[in-house]
Amino acid sequence: MEWYLIGTAAALLTTFGFVPQIIKIHRTKCAKGVSLATFYQYGVGVILWTLYGIHLGDIIIITANTVSFITIVAAIVLYYRYD
């Protein structure tokens, strides 16, 4: 089995996991029903994963989680803008 393909798929799915929520908030101009705690919890997890990636020197972990963090920040900004 090609484990790098599984790792790549996992990284892509988690990296862009909040994009549908971001699109929905942006289109509807409404963040009602969205859990802000989920964004913050995921954001802390992503920061910890990034630090772990830095410790390992793993560019894939670092890159995937840096992009994830950017999407989380975008979601939080939209949440406060439209809540």
CATH topology of domain 3-82: Monooxygenase (1.20.1280)
Burial classification of residue 14, based on how many CB atoms lie within 10 Å of its CB (0-12 exposed, 13-18 middle, 19 or more buried): middle
Per-residue pLDDT tens over the stretch 61-82: 999 999 999 999 999 999 999 9
**Which element (helix H / strand E) includes 80?**
helix 59-82
pLDDT, tens only, 1-41 = 688 888 888 888 988 988 999 999 999 999 998 999 999 99
The full set of domain ranges for the chain reads 3-82
Alpha-carbon span 69 to 42, nearest angstrom:
9
Judge residue 26's burial from the number of C-beta atoms within 10 Å of its C-beta, 0-12 exposed, 13-18 middle, 19 or more buried. Answer: middle
Q: Which two tokens stand for residue 53?
A: 């990636």
